Amino acid sequence: MAKDDRDILELLKQELSFIEEGGYGRSVRAPWLPKSVFQDSLSCLNYGYPYRAHPCSECHLLEFVGPEDRSQPVPCHVITLNETGNTIEELEMDGNESKMQSVVKSWLQGKINQLEAQGSRDLGKTSTEGARVGASKTWQST
């Protein structure tokens, strides 16, 4: 089965940028159609398809969905976004677009910060291990 080969950190940053630039605003061509977070952006593997060309199981966002919710019709809409337990599904039903975008932006920023911190820790480990390896090679060659 093919897997989404995009970098998750870049994907989340692009989604955040999309929201900040008003990407979920009403369409000029069809203002009566609501926009759906994740599904109506390039974050979705199925964006632009009139049908579901790729199963959600191939999407990076599934990493943030609890195992019990991964078989939901739109699993990314049941990601727990905050301590209150809000999900996109609940926030879309409430109809408060401003609140929904604010909560999703906060979640995205938190995940981006977490992944960047994790990346710098991993990078630090790699460079430290590399320094040790380099040091031992130097010692052995003399």
Instruction: Give residue-wise pLDDT tens across range 39-66.
Output: 988 889 888 888 888 999 999 999 999 9
Q: Is the pLDDT of residue 97 over 50?
A: yes
Instruction: Please report whether residue 2 resides in a domain.
Output: no
State residue 121 phi and psi, 5-degree precision.
Answer: -65, -45
Instruction: Please report whether residue 1 resides in a domain.
Output: no
pLDDT one-digit tens code per residue, 109-127 = 999 999 999 886 765 554 4
How many separate domains does the chain show? 1
Q: Is the pLDDT of residue 85 over 90?
A: yes
Instruction: Please report whether residue 3 resides in a domain.
Output: no
Per-residue model confidence (pLDDT) at position 32:
67
Domain that holds residue 14: 8-141
Per-residue model confidence (pLDDT) at position 28:
67
pLDDT one-digit tens code per residue, 19-41 = 999 887 766 676 767 788 999 88
Residues in contact with 106: Cβ distance below 8 Å, sequence separation at least 6, in sequence order: 81, 82
Per-residue model confidence (pLDDT) at position 3:
61
CA distance 15 to 38: 8
How does 1-15 read in b/e, with b if 16+ C-beta sit within 10 Å?
eeebeeeebebbbbb
Instruction: Please report whether residue 67 resides in a domain.
Output: yes
51: tokens are 């049908």
Would you say 79 and 61 are in contact if contact means Cβ atoms under 8 Å apart? yes
